[in-house]
Structure 1
Amino acid sequence: MKRGTTLFLKVTVFLIGITVLALCIFLLPWLANYTAEMYPEFADWQYPVLIGLYVTAIPFFIALYQALEILNYIENNNTFSELSVKALKSIKYCAISISILYVVGAVCLLSQNALHPGIAIIALTIIFTSVIIAVFTAVLEKLLKNALDIKSENDLTV
């Protein structure tokens, strides 16, 4: 694969990470304060929701780091290796954990009648996107594992 393609993907992953980090640092606290001022009945949920969002950012950044590692493996012609399988497995677990955290958060907010329909739509979108990413990486992980098995059998045959 050409170096320019992986460089473009690396820059894209980096920009996504910077954008989410900026949202976590600047926009989320401001939005939480604004919502607490506008809707005092939801003020009790300001900090638990912020903590939940920050906790879900951790596996997101881990998954981005693993994506960068996979791109490094592609650049170094080391795509078909156990390291790539481990990175895909890590991305899969991160996506699953994000889905679980959002489901738990939505259920908590729903049980307290604090789940706004707009927030519910965003939460469902994130949940389903994370599930799709988890399934896709699981399929890629299995394909890569099968390719590694075939490669090792061919190496033993020769």
Structure 2
Amino acid sequence: MKEKLRRLMNYITTITTGTLIACIFWGGISILTMGSSLTEANINFLMLPEILSVGIFCGLITELAFYSKREPKKKTFWIWIAVHYIAVTIVVLICGYFYHWYCWNVGNVIAMCLTSAGVYGFTFFLNYYRNKIIANAMNEKLEQYHSKHKKEGDSQ
């Protein structure tokens, strides 16, 4: 249970950070295209809990999708990824619409889907990198353990 909670908090943190970066990017573009100054721009305070809620919802979906009792086979892994991306993007579209992050038209929906793909890629990369570091550390510890026990076996 502790491991699941730690993993969930990691997803929420990574997704929220990616969403915040996306909001900064699109907010900056909006401000600049309106001819306003970035230094004089203000954000609505409610946007902060909105960004966090998107991170929480998407983190929960990720935990439920990828950490069931059985791991998807290599063959179906990419199908899992596609279905997961669609589920996450639907949550982002629904939340974004109700939070007034975009207006409902084809161009804005496409921009939201592409933004969701960017945050998805950001999260996927960071989690892959983190898991790779953990796996390398575990392999190093196993190697140390085996070489230590091999030396002990040789001396007997």
Name the TM-score class by shorter chain: 0.3 to 0.5
Rg larger in structure:
2
Q: Which has the higher helix share?
A: 1
